[in-house]
Structure 1
Amino acid sequence: MNSMKVADFMHRRPVVFTEELPIEAAVERLLQSHQRGGPVVDKDRKVIGFLSEQDCLAAMLCDTYHKEMSANVADCMFRGDVLCVFAEDSITDLAQRMDAKKPKVYPVLDDSTRQLVGVISRTDVLGAIDSYFQDSYRRR
Structure 2
Amino acid sequence: MLVAEVMTTPAESIRSEATLEDAIAKLGRARISALPVVDSDQRVVGIISEGDVLRHRLPADPRAHLRPTAPTSAAEPTIEAIMTADPSCATLRQDCAEVALTLARRGWKSMPVVDDEHRLLGVVSRSDFLRTLSQPDAVLSTAVHCAFAQAGHPEWRATVHDGHVTVNPRVGNLADAAMATAATVAGIRSVALGQRTWADHGDRRPPWGT
CA distance in 2, matches of 1:96, 1:60: 31
Q: Which residue of 1 aligns with 2:145?
A: none
1:90 to 87, 95, 117: 95
Aligned partner of residue 26 in structure 1, secondary structure: helix
Shift in CA distance, 108/133, structure 1 to aligned 2, threshold 3 Å: farther
Provide the residue aligned with 1:29 in structure 2.
26
Runs of 4+ in 1 over 3 A off after TM superposition: none
Residue 101 of structure 1, CA deviation: 2.2
Report the counterpart of residue 8 of structure 1 in structure 2.
5
**Residue 43 of structure 2 aligns with which residue?**
46
After TM superposition, list the pairs within 5 Å mapping 1:1-140 onto structure 2: 4-61=1-58, 65-79=71-85, 81-110=86-115, 112-131=116-135, 135=140, 136-137=160-161
Q: CA RMSD in A?
A: 2.5
Share of identical aligned residues, percent?
Answer: 26
Asked if 1 retains the 8 angstrom alpha-carbon contact of 2:89 and 2:112, the reply is yes
With the length of structure 2 as denominator, give the TM-score of the two structures. Answer: 0.57
Change (3 A) 1:40 1:68: same
Flag the structure with larger Rg. 2
CA shift for structure 1 position 98:
3.1
Aligned partner of residue 66 in structure 1, secondary structure: coil
Between the aligned partners of 1:92 and 1:129, the Cα distance in structure 2 is 12
* 17-26 or 67-76, larger mean C-alpha shift: 67-76
What TM-score comes out, normalization by structure 1 length? 0.82
Task: Give distance in 1, aligned partners of 2:131 and 2:79.
Answer: 30
Secondary structure of 1:68 counterpart:
coil
Alignment deviations for residues 40-60 of structure 1 (CA, whole Å, 9 cap, x no partner): 111111111110001011121
Cα distance in 2, alignment partners of residues 88 and 132 from structure 1? 25
Counterpart residue number, 2:146: none
SS at match of 2:37: strand
**RCO higher in structure (CA 8 A, sep ≥6):** 1
| Contact kept? 1:37, 1:52, Cα under 8 Å | yes
> How many residues align structurally?
134
The structural deviation recorded for 1:12 is 1.0
